[in-house]
């Protein structure tokens, strides 16, 4: 491999490149825009565009695109070449400031949830200078926000940027209370990405994987993950080569790929990057998913990012590590070692606890999808109930604070001078409760509910905004306080007491937890439709309005898009399953039974009894009949789908998914019965234990 520091970011128009290529005043002006959001004038944009183009062309680029993140959750791009006729029959490579700053991709076919009709569909993309441009497949990609002609948000990036602003605004106010002059506080994110790799040939033979991302039939392999021999196990040589190639591709794009390892399920792996600002981490994660798929293909693999590709083995998630940091690099969730900083830490910690408690529903909504519903609460990922894990040590401090008692000597102590003393929390002792959806891990929180295929923007919009809201309330209350230390402690005590119910350090997989959670009044939305209806609850609309993130219409449109997406995903699954069963599985079963029956008759004619074959014929015929009857019911169920998106989503959860399960049960029994050479699909053993 090439020298890594040299390779790293070689396809990115980053600060180093800008500094080297831009005239000094232009560079300064652009930096001002990046760091302080100052508007960029067109002259500057023109110079930046020309520089960017020259740099991109020198790296082999021929096209540019405004790269954006519509509500589909995947990224979108429309390529334009740099060519411009120059009068003598030839062309020059040209790129203007106007083209850099604003695009008009039209893009009327993206979901807008009723925000725009196609006749007034013009959508605009606007350059986001806080995320670097990069080259991918000979195309200069310019990260952009996407909105409608009337300025309504149509993408995932715009609200994320707004929520980061809101968080910064309020956190800066709170820091000022502690005498700190911060200009900016940024949400920092490290998303750990899980995925499966299977052989491309197997993937190509599974229409369910191709069309829906998950296997809709498939009997369990004789071996699953029970031996726990895959987790952190040594890598298959082919996978190792894939990971090295993946790292190299990600590094070129300036993505801080750091850790690669095998996960719990067979064929399951994880990549964790070093954290970055929420905006950059989100863009990088979107790119990571795309690059993973491309690199996998080069190595004869298919990369599966669905939350539940295989029944009976763990699905994939994406752990969203989250914290806040000042421009000087102070991590606000780091417990620190001096008393003053500790009260500051405690206040930020309290704000996060309050935020998660007040907006549990929004966090659940941010991870709601047809795919993720298979994981949450299935004893492999956190339950659908949102709670916060702080670990025993921090819990002891919180308990003492609430009770107003000094802590035991060996535990962190509260002094009666009013100053809270926390010893330096030994990092990494608190975590390791893998069942918690939202765990404090020493100097950050890890939100473990997002699904592996998700765009993490939505989750972080919810988190940033909810924490901003809590901080705003605290700043309102404490600004102008006559006795800050005293009022601060009173507030922390009161707030921790008020939000105790969200703290849970026990086993999130235990049967008692949902009962206990219900007693505490916590939300438990087991399915996506149950969760999504709460998006437009008054308190949520008010939250987003207060911080200028979404209007009521924008929330309603998001709710509609997500409900619609859920219904469509399940409809596609149902139709795919029907095709599979009727066109591939049933014919194979019938062929097998016919062969058996012919053998039984032939033996009978010779006077040979064949009770085993006869019984087997009967079994296969009966199961085939059961499967086809269930398919007919599923067909009828699909035909009766309601139109309204809310009703449809509920109907899918309550009626269609059980109807699909009724088809799968006999199909999987048949797979375990029918001649292996006749079975039309690669099995779980084939896919998960390839050599
Ligand atoms: P753990 O062992 O608890 O999983 P790691 O140190 O391996 O912790 O980090 C896991 C992820 O958390 C990595 O992606 C890392 O970059 C990220 N992370 C670490 N510190 C922060 C922070 N301050 N803010 C956001 N993410 C962070
Ligand atoms: Mg982790």
pLDDT for residue 337: 62
Looking at the fold, whether 515 and 590 belong to one and the same domain comes out as: no
Query: Are 353 and 255 in the same domain?
Result: yes
Atom of ligand 1 nearest to the CA of 256: 16
Q: Among 444, 446, 459, 460, name the best residue to mutate to test ligand 1's pocket (greatest count of ligand atoms within 8 A of Cβ).
A: 444
pLDDT score for 415: 34
Are 585 and 217 in contact by the 8 Å Cβ rule? The answer is: yes
End residue of a domain, out of 136, 155, 174 = 155
- CATH at residue 42: 3.10.20.70
Last residue of a domain, one of 550, 577, 592: 550
Q: Is 67 in the pocket of ligand 1 (CB under 6 A)?
A: no
> What was the pLDDT predicted at 206?
98
Q: In terms of DSSP H, where are the helices of 37-88?
A: 42-58
**Dist. CA 319 → ligand 2 center (Å):** 7
Q: Please indicate, yes or no, if residue 221 is contained in any of the structural domains.
A: no
What kind and span of H or E run contains 569?
helix 552-579
Nearest to 320 by CA among 228, 382, 265, 242: 382
Find the 185 Cα to ligand 1 centroid distance in Å.
Answer: 18
Pairing of strands 139-148, 63-67: parallel
- Give dist(CA 574, CA 288) in Å, integer: 30
The single-letter DSSP state of residue 146 is E
Question: Would the CB of 445 count as within 6 Å of ligand 1?
Answer: no
Q: Contact at 8 Å (CB) between 470 and 358?
A: yes
Ligand number nearest CA of 288 is: 1
331 CB within 6 A, ligand 1? yes
Atom of ligand 1 nearest to the CA of 442: 3
Atom of ligand 1 nearest to the CA of 321: 26
Question: Do 585 and 514 share a structural domain?
Answer: no
Residue 338 CA, chain-centre distance (Å), reads: 36
pLDDT mean values, one per 10 residues, the chain (691 residues): 89 95 94 82 93 96 94 85 92 93 76 62 83 95 88 90 97 96 95 97 98 98 82 87 96 95 90 97 97 97 98 95 96 73 89 98 98 89 92 87 70 40 46 83 95 97 98 97 94 96 93 95 96 98 97 94 96 98 98 97 96 97 98 98 96 98 98 97 95 79
Residues 109 and 240 in one domain: no
- Ligand 1 atom with the smallest distance to the CA of 325 is 23
Based on the fold, state whether residues 209 and 236 are members of the same structural domain: yes
Q: Helix 552-579 crosses helix 611-639 at what angle (to 10 degrees)?
A: 150
Q: What is the CATH number of the domain that holds 540?
A: 3.30.590.10
Q: Which residue is it, tokens 């449809």?
A: 648
* 420 domain residue, yes or no: no
Q: How far is the CA of 270 from the centre of ligand 1 (A)?
A: 14
Q: What are phi and psi of 528, to 5 degrees?
A: -55, -50
My answer on whether 533 and 476 are in the same domain is yes
Model pTM above 0.85: yes
Asked whether residue 265 falls in the same domain as residue 211, the answer is: yes
In terms of Cα–Cα distance, which of 342, 385, 364, 394 is closest to 501?
Answer: 385
Q: How many CA atoms are closer than 13 Å to the CA of 540, on its beta-carbon side?
A: 27
323 lines ligand 1 (CB under 6 A): yes
Of 525, 550, 575, the residue at which a domain comes to its end is: 550
Asked if residue 330 has its Cβ within 6 Å of ligand 1, the reply is: no
Q: pLDDT value at position 106?
A: 67
pLDDT of the residue at 422: 45
Residue 561 in domain: no
Give the ligand at the shortest distance from the Cα of 273: 1
* Residue 283 is assigned to a structural domain of this protein: yes
pLDDT at position 107, please? Answer: 64
Distance CA 111, CA 350 (A): 38
Distances (CA, A) of 45 to 68, 144, 289: 19, 15, 31
Q: Is the CB of 284 under 6 A from ligand 1?
A: no
Q: Using a 6 Å cutoff on CB, does residue 283 contact ligand 1?
A: no
CB of 326 shorter than 6 A to ligand 1:
no
Domain check: are 613 and 640 in the same one?
yes
Q: Tell whether ligand 1 has an atom less than 6 A from the beta carbon of residue 188.
A: yes
- Determine which residue's CA is closest to atom 7 belonging to ligand 1: 272
Q: How many residues make up the chain in this entry?
A: 691
| Calpha distance 452→259 (Å, rounded) | 16
447 alpha carbon to ligand 2 midpoint, in Å?
9
Alpha-carbon distances of 482 from 407, 485, 490, 632, rounded to whole Å: 27, 9, 13, 73
- Give me the domain span that covers residue 639: 566-688
Please check whether residues 95 and 244 belong to one and the same domain. Answer: no
Verify that 543 and 597 share a domain, yes or no.
no
Same domain, 445 and 580: no
| Same-domain status, 539 and 628 | no
How many domains is the chain built from?
A: 3
Residue 79's Cβ-side half-sphere holds a number of Cα atoms within 13 Å equal to: 11
Tokens matching residue 691: 């050599």
In-domain check, residue 527: yes
Please write down the HEC assignment for all residues of 20-40. Answer: HHCCHHHHHHHHHHHHHCCCC
Atom of ligand 1 nearest to the CA of 334: 23
Residue 13 in any domain: the answer is yes
Fill in the DSSP letter of residue 581: I
Is residue 223 one of the residues assigned to a domain?
no
In a domain, 555, yes or no: no
> Is the shortest distance between the CB of 527 and ligand 1 below 6 Å?
no
DSSP-derived 3-state class of residue 100 = helix
- Tell me the CATH number at 616: 1.20.120.1560
* Structure token pair of residue 498: 């008020």
């Amino acid at each position: 491999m090439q020298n890594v520091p040299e390779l790293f970011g070689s396809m990115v128009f980053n600060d180093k490149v800008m500094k080297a290529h831009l005239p000094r005043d232009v560079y300064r002006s652009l930096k001002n825009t990046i760091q302080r959001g100052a508007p960029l004038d067109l002259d500057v944009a023109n110079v930046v565009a020309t520089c960017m183009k020259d740099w991109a062309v020198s790296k082999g680029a021929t096209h540019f695109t405004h790269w954006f993140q519509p509500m589909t959750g995947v990224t979108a791009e429309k390529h334009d070449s740099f060519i411009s006729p120059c009068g003598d029959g030839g062309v020059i490579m040209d790129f203007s400031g106007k083209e850099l700053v604003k695009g008009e991709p039209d893009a009327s076919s993206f979901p807008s949830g009723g925000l725009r009709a196609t006749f007034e569909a013009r959508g605009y993309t606007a350059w986001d200078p806080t995320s670097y441009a990069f080259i991918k497949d000979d195309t200069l990609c310019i990260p952009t926000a996407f909105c409608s002609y009337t300025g309504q948000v149509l993408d995932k990036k715009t609200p994320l940027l707004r929520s980061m602003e809101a968080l910064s605004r309020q956190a800066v106010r709170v820091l000022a209370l502690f005498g700190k002059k911060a200009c900016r506080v940024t949400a920092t994110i490290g998303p750990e990405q899980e995925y499966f790799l299977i052989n491309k040939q197997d993937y190509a033979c599974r229409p369910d994987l191709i069309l829906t991302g998950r296997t809709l039939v498939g009997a369990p392999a004789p071996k699953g993950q029970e031996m726990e021999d895959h987790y952190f196990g040594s890598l298959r040589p082919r996978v190792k080569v894939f990971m090295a190639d993946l790292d190299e591709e990600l590094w070129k794009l300036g993505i801080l790929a750091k850790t690669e390892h095998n996960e719990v399920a067979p064929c399951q792996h994880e990549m964790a990057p070093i954290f970055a600002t929420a905006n950059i981490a989100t863009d990088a994660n979107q790119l990571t998913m795309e690059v993973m798929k491309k690199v996998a293909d080069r190595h004869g693999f298919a990369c599966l990012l669905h939350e539940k590709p295989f029944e009976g083995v763990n699905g994939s998630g994406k752990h969203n590590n989250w914290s806040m940091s000042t421009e000087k690099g102070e991590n606000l969730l780091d417990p620190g070692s001096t008393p003053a900083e500790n009260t500051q830490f405690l206040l930020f910690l309290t704000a996060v606890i309050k935020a998660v408690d007040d907006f549990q529903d929004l966090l659940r909504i941010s991870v709601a999808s047809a795919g993720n519903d298979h994981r949450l609460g299935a004893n492999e990922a956190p339950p659908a109930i949102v709670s916060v894990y702080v670990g025993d040590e921090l819990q002891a401090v919180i308990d003492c604070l609430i009770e107003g008692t000094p802590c035991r000597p060996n535990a962190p102590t509260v002094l009666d001078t009013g100053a809270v003393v926390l010893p330096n929390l030994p990092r990494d002792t608190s975590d390791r409760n893998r069942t918690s959806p939202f765990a404090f891990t020493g100097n950050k929180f890890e939100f473990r509910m997002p699904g592996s295929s998700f765009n993490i923007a939505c989750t972080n919009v919810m988190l940033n905004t909810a924490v901003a809201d809590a901080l705003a309330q605290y700043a309102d209350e404490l600004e102008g306080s006559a006795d800050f230390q005293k009022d601060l402690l009173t507030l922390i005590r009161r707030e921790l007491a008020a939000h105790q119910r969200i703290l849970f350090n026990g086993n999130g997989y235990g049967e008692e937890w949902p009962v206990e959670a219900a007693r505490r009044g916590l939300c438990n939305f087991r399915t996506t439709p149950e969760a999504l209806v709460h998006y437009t609850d008054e308190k949520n609309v008010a939250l987003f309005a207060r911080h200028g993130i979404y209007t009521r219409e924008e929330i309603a449109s998001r709710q509609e898009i997500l409900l619609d997406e859920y219904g469509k995903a399940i409809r596609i699954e149902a139709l795919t399953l029907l095709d599979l069963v009727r066109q591939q599985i049933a014919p194979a079963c019938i062929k097998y039974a016919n062969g058996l029956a012919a053998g039984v008759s032939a033996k009978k004619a010779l006077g040979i009894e064949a009770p085993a074959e006869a019984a087997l014929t009967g079994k296969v015929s009966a199961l085939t009949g059961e499967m086809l009857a269930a398919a007919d019911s599923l067909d009828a169920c699909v035909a009766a789908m309601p139109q309204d998106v809310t009703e449809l989503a509920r109907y899918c959860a309550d009626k269609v998914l059980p109807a699909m399960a009724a088809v799968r049960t006999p199909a999987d029994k048949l797979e375990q019965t029918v001649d292996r050479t006749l079975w039309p699909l690669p099995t779980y053993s084939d896919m998960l234990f390839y050599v």
